[in-house]
Amino acid sequence: MSQNLANVQRLVIKIGSALLVEQESGALHRTWLNALADDVAALVRRGVEVMIVSSGAIAVGRRHLGFTQPTLRLEENQAAAATGQIRLAHAYQETLARHDITVAQILLTLDDTEERRRHLNARATMSTLLRLGTVPVINENDTVATSEIRFGDNDRLAARVAAMMNADALILLSDIEGLYSADPRQNLEAAFIPEVPVITAAIEAMAGAPPTGHSSGGMVTKLAAARIAVGAGCRMAIADGRIMNPLAAIEAGGRATWFLSQVEPRTARKRYIAGSLKPSGSLVVDAGALKALRGGKSLLPAGVTAVEGAFQRGDAVTVRTAEGAEIGRGLAAYGADEARRIIGHKSREIEAILGYRGREELIHRDDLALTEGSRS
Ligand code: GLU
């Protein structure tokens, strides 16, 4: 087993259109998909949480709608995506049902992964789905995409999902084998690069220009994805998916370019929370809560004595003691007004106070970075 997949707990797999869809007829490659599902099922059985980011909606849908012209207008692409997505999701549902695995469809935009309130919701939903043992199948929500649908956007979307979900590995399966020192179609001397410890300018230069053709964003978008993933503590592989059981092949040490990450996903997320966000308020905690936080627990409303500032759900806030010492920063699960109403109360009282059943914690431990050294 390859070292790079052996200890993976949470894995994102991105599947390019060219692998899934027969370009002329728009038919799905069922045999290939079944074999891929067998690989996914083997991972799930050994406890790996798997998320699939799949392209192919447009490629499937355009044939159904009878579009034969080589380039489509934005709204035609969106219509094709809407038609194809339902078929794509159904195919995943059917093939994973053979292994008693439930599939959940998630449609996201890149903005959803950036905007913190939506980010928090998407993350909570996907965490719940993973906890329940389902496999989320994710695609870009092409209907509401505001700019041209660019092939290759799913490479970045997959990397954003991997970052958002603290995945430890991302595998991009496409019709590209991996990174070469030069374009292998033009240069016979081009050497395959199996491992990229750091994305340097020399590595960037190897990506060259994106190829023409509709199935792949080429190496440029894959490198962009690698930067996002690696920065979030997630290692990433580019591998050729045009074989049967491509994931099993990677596990067996098959050819792939691995971009390594220098930090753990949790550490990377905590650094982001601690360093990059401007706090818009603070929560003052009592001694009991302080002890719980130092022990790696979430911040519950019961341990908060005061709420300062105006912030909304998902905004960054500082956490501090009554004496004013900052002990950490986190993303608030409630806006300031709601937080003021529930502090000092038990989590089970939240529903009666707010009229709906929200999160139990004011800041979830995964969204909290303690300033002092701690086990959080
Ligand atoms: N969302 C598009 C589709 O499913 C694909 C975008 C991409 O390949 O990057 O057809």
Map residue 163 onto helix, strand or coil. helix
The rounded distance, in Å, linking the Cα atoms of 334 and 246 is 43
**pLDDT (mean) for 67-94:** 94
User: Ligand 1 test: best mutation among 148, 149, 155, 160, most atoms within 8 Å of CB?
Assistant: 149
**Nearest-atom index, ligand 1, CA of 77:** 10
The rounded distance, in Å, linking the Cα atoms of 146 and 280 is 29
pLDDT of res. 376: 41
Residue 150 DSSP one-character state: P
Does residue 78 have its Cβ closer than 6 Å to ligand 1? no
> Where do the domains of the chain lie?
3-267, 277-374
Instruction: Calculate the alpha carbon distances from 75 to 33, 146, 152, 153, 340 in Å.
Output: 28, 11, 18, 17, 45
Whether residue 247 contacts residue 40, with contact meaning beta carbons closer than 8 Å, is answered with: yes
Query: 34-56, pLDDT tens digit by residue?
Result: 999 999 999 999 999 999 999 99
Greater pLDDT, 179 or 145:
179
User: 128 burial class (0-12, 13-18, 19+ CB within 10 angstroms)?
Assistant: exposed
pLDDT of res. 213: 43
Model confidence at 12, in pLDDT bands (50, 70, 90)? very high
Q: How far is the CA of 62 from the centre of ligand 1 (A)?
A: 12
Whether residue 85 contacts residue 280, with contact meaning beta carbons closer than 8 Å, is answered with: no
Class (C level, CATH) for 3-267? alpha beta
The rounded distance, in Å, linking the Cα atoms of 333 and 91 is 36
Percent with pLDDT over 70 in the chain: 93
Token pair of 352 as six digits:
């009666």
Does residue 58 have its Cβ closer than 6 Å to ligand 1? yes
Does residue 168 have its Cβ closer than 6 Å to ligand 1? no
**pLDDT (mean) for 278-288:** 93
pLDDT of res. 267: 83
Residue in the structure block whose two tokens are 């004496």: 323
The yes-or-no answer to whether 3-267 and 277-374 have a common fold is no
Cα–Cα–Cα angle for 216, 154, 124, nearest 5°? 165
Query: 288-343, pLDDT tens digit by residue?
Result: 999 999 999 999 999 999 999 999 988 899 999 999 899 999 999 999 999 999 99
The rounded distance, in Å, linking the Cα atoms of 85 and 175 is 21
Class (C level, CATH) for 277-374? mainly beta
Residue 115 DSSP one-character state: S
* Least confident piece of the model among 112-121, 273-282, 364-373: 112-121
Length of the chain: 376
User: Ligand 1 test: best mutation among 53, 142, 161, most atoms within 8 Å of CB?
Assistant: 142
The rounded distance, in Å, linking the Cα atoms of 376 and 373 is 8
Model confidence at 204, in pLDDT bands (50, 70, 90)? confident
Q: Which residue, by CA, sits nearest to atom 2 of ligand 1?
A: 55
DSSP 255-279: S-EEEP-SS-HHHHHHHHHHHT---
Query: 217-272, pLDDT tens digit by residue?
Result: 578 889 999 999 998 899 999 999 999 999 999 999 999 999 999 888 888 888 88
The rounded distance, in Å, linking the Cα atoms of 333 and 308 is 15
pLDDT of residue 129 exceeding 90, the answer is yes
Percent with pLDDT over 90 in the chain: 66
Q: How far is the CA of 217 from the centre of ligand 1 (A)?
A: 10
Q: Among 212, 211, 190, which residue's Cα sits nearest to residue 257? A: 190
Whether residue 53 contacts residue 161, with contact meaning beta carbons closer than 8 Å, is answered with: yes
Q: How far is the CA of 155 from the centre of ligand 1 (A)?
A: 9
Residue 21 DSSP one-character state: B
- The residues, any chain, with a CB within 8 Å of residue 69's CB and separated by 6 or more, are none
Greater pLDDT, 29 or 187:
29
Does residue 13 have its Cβ closer than 6 Å to ligand 1? no
Does residue 259 have its Cβ closer than 6 Å to ligand 1? no
What pTM value is reported for the model?
0.84
Model confidence at 177, in pLDDT bands (50, 70, 90)? confident
The rounded distance, in Å, linking the Cα atoms of 343 and 289 is 12
